[in-house]
Structure 1
């Protein structure tokens, strides 16, 4: 994921420099995490509104509904044994695999798990800079819904995750929100967080759904 962030940062920086009045970001699925990596690591960004469209901001834990028929023997219970290893971290999804039963491994400094660094849940010498950079945005717009079928749990699109009892832990209950580790609580306090829950939209349909764009996204692009 950091490789992708580095590559895309260069492209985005050129676009930002060409539009000094400021830009907006619309980032879909895994791209929402890549964009967040750009925002946190690029101190010179001029992003106004960041629209996170069905993106696993709270991490992934579980096999997406759409692939279960093809991989019935894959168990999210044991995959951490592969994902939370140096070799496993070469796989993108492993970089944001959020196993509530093994958060000690998720936060393990030597692994440098991408999402743990973004959340400042693991030691990060750039932690303060990441937070300050993220807080340069004016608004964070989070869009997701219960019929997504890929983001697991779907509440991850709003920084939710499973807890150790298999129940949903909402954004406001997350450790990184309570501690304001990367600025999420600050954004909430200044009224800069917008959450939209939209039923009836499958994961692959979000970028093409005109109602989603017209009703929930277009107004943030002025």
Structure 2
């Protein structure tokens, strides 16, 4: 029986999608770390879950500086490591669990959608950046005060110089310029992950100029007659729907994921033109998951 739960706690929101009743109590676990992280970030999970008798594999396919690399390049590495581990142990024959944190969220979901042979039974995403990143009017003051040094670690100044922008530029100008850079330099999509997770609020350009997120949200455009594109969309959705449970956790106290609702598939409202990213910045509002195109059109299986 299919059910959906929406849970609210003091500082966090989670929703769970459940499609079958499987005994998850002994399934092994794969852990995906976040940006600039490594396998040691899983130490609490390893300690607690191995005490239950589980095997926990903290993935090492792209650690520390490597994790800044384009996600489109990280996903094949993740899949290769998982397949190697699974092929060499019968322990994974009955399925396994994915636990992902921060940037590990979109990487792990992309891996699920790409792996026709996956046996992921339960998927857990914590502050998982599932719908990308965009500094909008919500908590923009926090970004002004705190995000400058962090942003500079994600993209080198020789590509996009965050240091050139003052506090007043966080109200749309910096974001617009970053979008224009992304569009004018498509090769940037193969350099740093920050370009892959930028979910700017002008759908027409986002859906074609971002080579990662639109693909795994299945909102990338398929030209007439492009049967391979259509087939790949159907394949990715079918692979996502192999999951028996999916749990997505987010926190309103999150001051790194912008907006925090991205971790439960929310985003900012759309504008008509790239210029309006700046001129209508303060008019942007949060669109919750249930009102997004991905959900209402069930593009990759979220509504199902």
TM interval, shorter chain, is 0.7 to 0.9
TM-score normalised according to structure 2 size: 0.57
Unmatched tracts of structure 1, length 5 or more: 187-222
**1:158 lines up with 2:264 in the alignment:** yes
Distance 1:15 1:169 in 2: 39
In structure 2, the partner of 1:33 is: 106
- How far does residue 87 in structure 1 lie from its aligned partner after superposition? 2.9
Unmatched tracts of structure 2, length 5 or more: 1-70, 150-162, 223-228, 271-282
In structure 2, the partner of 1:8 is: 78
In structure 2, the partner of 1:183 is: 301
What SS class does the counterpart of residue 52 from structure 1 fall into? strand
**1:91 lines up with 2:218 in the alignment:** no
Distance 2:259 2:220 in 1: 22
In structure 2, the partner of 1:144 is: 250
What SS class does the counterpart of residue 246 from structure 2 fall into? strand
1:12-91 matches, within 5 Å, as 12-17=82-87, 18=89, 19-62=92-135, 65=143, 67-68=146-147, 70=149, 73=166, 75-84=174-183, 85-89=185-189, 90-91=191-192
What SS class does the counterpart of residue 76 from structure 1 fall into? helix
What SS class does the counterpart of residue 87 from structure 1 fall into? helix
In structure 2, the partner of 1:167 is: 285
Matched positions, count: 183
| 8 Å Cα contact 2:131-2:263 kept in structure 1 | yes
| Partner deviation per Cα, 1:46-84 (whole Å, 9 max, x = no partner) | 001110111111111017737435456362232101123
In structure 1, the partner of 2:159 is: none
| Partner deviation per Cα, 1:77-104 (whole Å, 9 max, x = no partner) | 321011233133122111121111x221
- How far does residue 16 in structure 1 lie from its aligned partner after superposition? 3.3
| 8 Å Cα contact 1:96-1:113 kept in structure 2 | no
Computed over aligned residues only, the root mean square deviation of the Cα atoms, in angstroms, reads 1.9
